[in-house]
Structure formats: structure tokens, C-alpha cells
Structure 1
């Protein structure tokens, strides 16, 4: 079935969003920038806040962003509907003393970040992106554009490459970025130059490698969308687009987008779901609404969190890796993620609630469960439920090539997830 014009436009906008978000820090800035253009007020955590009914707000903490709308009729007991996602993706992070090389090549010293599919990063034009901390106390974003490449060894020199390729994480994942003497060159100068600052002013950095190729729509009936960082910018983008359209005059819950960093590492950081960021924001919002401790607990007891992250579509070449019965596929709707061992937070009540939001949005949903012999990963869902006691449901979209440098999604699923997010925010 051909995808709708709205779904195609949504995918093109996602391609723009991903291109502007090569690092978690860029993603958080892009979330804030888009929402500010939509009328949200950006708040500083170090300042006093005036959060009032009818207001729309966004806060950035490092590589994470939390945004929310307060309905005009909000009280101390108004529940929150939280759409949770994450801004980071598996890949590589720049090491200290990052300029290296040999035999006339300049290379970048990188460390593996999370669990990337290493071979997928070979033979691509790559960029460095992240934040630079400067001597004067400023923090600026940097993005070199296409600069690096991980060249694969020619098959003439490795006749067994097609029977099994295993890269050494230390010695075979250091990308080239130029020709010359590494004692005379400095990759930090490239980074600093991209940010319009001097390399001598850089006192610290958090910089990752990202693919430079733009997201693409293709396939029969234009059903497919391929891009880097769909895990989990697809969900972050869905939350932003849905939140932009909330009418605070219509009442409903406090609608919150929580885009955390460091999910691929376990979420244990000040900007991760395991940290205090969301709890801090909720506390300040309910303080502004005059809630005492009892009223805040009552409001949170009536609240919901949708933990949105990608899940596995059935792979036609590896069907045996999936559950033999429950087999979601691209283009057939967002997924409800379930796991008996609480790797996902979904339960029966959450399943029913998710289906009601899908019905409100006129969206068909699928289920995902792992093959018993192939344990699944986890998400921010169980972490959020544990930290805050909020009823939480794990959902997302099905994709192929998860943790690849370039992942594959269904165009219609991306749009449908945004539609459900809108119904969820509206309550």
C-alpha cells in the first residue's frame, strides 16, 4: 500500500532532524530550537522558574532535553503523560590525545561507544560532532562535516573476508582523516575550526563519530526509510512533532517529552534516565502548581510514561532469530514491546492503555516479544518505572539493521508513532 503524503513529508522532516543531530548534544539543541520556534520558552536550570498553566517550556541538560506543556486548567493533581526516548546511538567516541597515525596517514583515536555493529561503519564518509568546553567557560557545538573514513582491507589481502569479518576494536576501528605527520597535525584544530574557535582554547570535549549520509526514502511504493541514528532519534522526533501541536487551552494532562542521553550505556548519568533529570523537572513543575508532597504522589500515581524505542522487525533472511509466532514487520504499525523478565515495563494494564491511544489515533499496532533463545535488550522504561513509580509502557517502531551505522524503518510506522504520541499527549 502506498504511504500517504503526510507520512512522506514526516520522513523528510525526520531526515532533516537527523542531519542536524549528529551527536546527543546536537539533538538536545535541535529539540530545544524547534520547540522555541513553536512558542516554547527555554528555561535555565540555574534560574528561578515561572511555570504557569497554559505555558510551554523546554530545558536542556547536557545531551538531554525535557519539554512540556501545562494545560490551562492544570491543578496540583493534574497527571503527567511522559513520552520518553533517548538522544544517543551506538558508535565511536573520540579519545584523549586523539591525533594518531602511522606510515604517512593521519588517524583519529576513538573508543567504542555502546554496542555498534562495527562492520557497518566501514567505507563511509564520517564526521566528528559533539561539544567543546572552552577556557572562558563557554560550551560550543562542533561538527566537522565529512572528514573521516574507516577503509576496509581489500579482499586481495584478506581472502577470508566474506566468510567471517571480525574487527579488532582497538587496532582496526581507528579512522583515517588525512595525510601527514601526526606529531605535526591536530584533529582538535579541525573540530575547533568547525565551531569557529581556537584549538588552544579547548579544555575538554565530548565528541562522537556520525555518518554523513542523509536519510533516504526508497523501495516499492516508497515504503522504506534508511538513516543513521534512527535508534532513537525516530522516537525523539516523533515526540517533538507531537508536542508542537498540543493545545494547552484544551485541558488534558501535563504533556512531557523526555529525551535522555546515555541509554546505550545503561542510562546511569546526570542526563540519563537513571539520573535525576526527569524527577527534578517534575518536582519543579508540581511545585509551581502548588502541589504538596501528598498531591504530587497522587498526581504521579495517575500519570503514564510511554518509553519509545526501536524494536526488531522480522528479518526475511534470519526468520529463525525471531519468535515463531509474534513477528512484527515494517510498515504494519508501531509495536508494543513485552518481556516476561521485565526488560520492558509493559504489563496488561499498560497494553490496554496503549491500544486505546492507538485506537484514538486510528493507528494499527503490532506486538514484539523475543525468541527465548535470543534475549532482548532493555530500555529507559523499567528505569523510569523504578525511579518514579509511574505506570510505564514500552513501545516503538520495528526496524532492521539495529545498531548499524544506517538503520531501516518503515515510512508509515514513523508517522503512525507520531500520531499515537499526539493522542497520548492529549490524554
Structure 2
């Protein structure tokens, strides 16, 4: 049976009427503002731990600090055994920071953190068997920095004093110079070829610790204008294994069979010459190498892959290393303070590998490295010898290379060019001169 339409609407009309009546009744209440409950005071919860920071002073030992932390001799022994799984307590240096942790209200030591270096600490924690240890790595984050500068006095001032880098620690700014030196070491000798009026543009990536210091860094793109000639470098990971290299804008490798110098940022104190007044003997004689002045202990690098043929004391040379290379080349490193423990006669070395440190052994008036290069038994000038280039970008990687080059070069182009920086410097000088005249 079909229902009448009028009767089917009656329940709906009744519901609407009820809602309307309820609204009229509640309207005055809804119009009143909601009572203000006020603001709750911030609650500060106390830390569950008590922490004490100790710094290892001269003459102190790790065990001595632990003895003041309410540890029994057996517990102290157990903790030191756990620490030795990660590091040697006898080699802890003055200034090492040690953090001791207790549960609040409990006299028993809960944990110990020992900083090994800026990137690692040993964490010691209690467990049911005594103490366990682990290495904790300092977290880092990636940061890309873009900067340009005009070299008015010297490269060091132009980079380290660049206001665009003021948020970086001073030591990290100096490391940027080392990164530049490594990139362009085959094209320029930074110690003698950089001049006033040169300019640079850089894009580099750094891994930053929580304290703002740089764990590591890599230049992604660079332009160095030297004597009005622009030199470019683009980092490209050819084999996609993290071991990339630097190429110019045409895809030609910047790498050479030999790096130009065996030290990072350095000063030449004596050049290659066939006739030099010897500073000790006072007579004229050939100087068959280049002397690099540097502090005692400065690391020395092998300038090319090769085999060690000599590692010994040799008269006026003092501690000396000879390395034989391909194509009839030999390099010599003299007056070393020490040999690296990895260096053995007959052993192979890689380009850039540390082989020893700067000293003044043998006949020397101050700490420096005497560096020689021989080709087919004849001494040649390391600063002027013609060294072949590395391999260019291969055809099967050309498309990937061109995409990366375009992206990174475009980043460089957002920075002021050398002419722009020179113009800005000239205008600033004019304004200064005008003010002085007034």
C-alpha cells in the first residue's frame, strides 16, 4: 500500500520545529563569551641526570678522574677494560673532555663520554655484566656555500677575511684555501703565481658539526682569474663511486701525473738553479731542487704514484726518501723530521699519500723540505717541467658531464665576476679618496 505524501512529511516537520525551538532557548547562552581559563605557567622539568664535565690536565690520567667518581677499584678496572676496546687511555691528550653522568639521587655512576676527537667519542654505559663501550660519531649536516672575492694583497687575506665567510670559524676559512690549492695545484703555484688583481668564485659543499666547524669540504665549482686568464674547475664523479676529479669546462682533466708541490699551502724559500751561494758552506754550487719553508711536522705528500727506492739518512740531505715513477721520473724529499710508518723501501705509494714530515735534519738552517725531480737521471726544475694531463671525460659519460657542468657553472655565474669586483673596488677607493679630501 502506498503512503500519503502529507503523512510522510509530518516527522520531518516536527524535527525542524524542535531544533528551531532549541536554538531560541540556547541563543542567549551561545552569545556569551567563553570563559577565559587563563594561561598556564610553563613547567620546567628537572633533568633526570646529574652531569659533571672534567678536562684532562697535564699530568692527569683517566683513571685518576674515575677515582674521584665514587667507583670501586673493581668497577674502575671494568670501565677501563671497556674503554680499551675502543681507545688507549695512555694516549689521551691534555685537554680531553670527559663527561660523567649519574641518575639524580643515585650515587652510582651511570655513564661516561670521552671525546677522542671532534668527530668521535667513546660512550661507556653500565649493563648487567659491568660496563660496555661504543663509538658515537658526531652528527653533521651538509651546507653549500657560494662566495666570490678580489685578491688585493694576497690569497690568504682575500679568503680568510672575506665578510661573506664571517660565520665560518677562522680555521675553516683557511682550509678553503687548501681546497683551492688542491684543485688548481696542476695549473698554478699558489705561493708565487697569485698576484694582486686576481679574483675567485667558489661553490663548495661542507659537512658541518653541531658547533659550526667543518668536518670535511669539497669544492663543487671554481673560477680563478689569474693575470686576466680564467681557470675553471668542475668536480665530477665519473665512476659514481665518490672518487671524482676536477675537469675544465671542455671536460679536460685538471689532474697531472705529478702534483705541483709536495706540501699544502707553502712558501718557496729557494728555487732550482745551477749556481747558488750555499747558505751554510758559503760557496757557489748548483741547487738541484726547490726548498719549501714550512713548520716542523708539516705533512709531506708523494707527488705521484711510484715505488720507494730509498728511505734513510744521507749526509747533508738528512732523512731522505726517493720515489721512482713511470716514464723515467724520480722524486727526492730531504731534511725530513720523520718518516711515515707506512713507508718502506720497495713499497708502493699513491699520489698525495703522506710519506713523512718537514724537519731540518742534515745540513739545514731552518725547517724546510728540499724537493727534487729527476728525469732519465738528470735533475730538472720541478716548477717548469712539462707534465702530461690526465684522461678527459669519455664519450659514454659526456651527457651526464654536460648536465652537471651546466648546473654547477650556472651557480658560479650568480656570483659577481672579476670585472664587476674590480669596478666595485675602484669605486670604493674613489669614495674613500673623496672623503679624505673633504
TM-score bracket relative to the smaller structure:
under 0.3
Q: If each structure's helix is expressed as a fraction of its own residues, which one has the higher value?
A: 1
TM-score relative to the length of structure 2: 0.22
Q: Which has the higher contact order (CA 8 A, sep 6+)?
A: 1
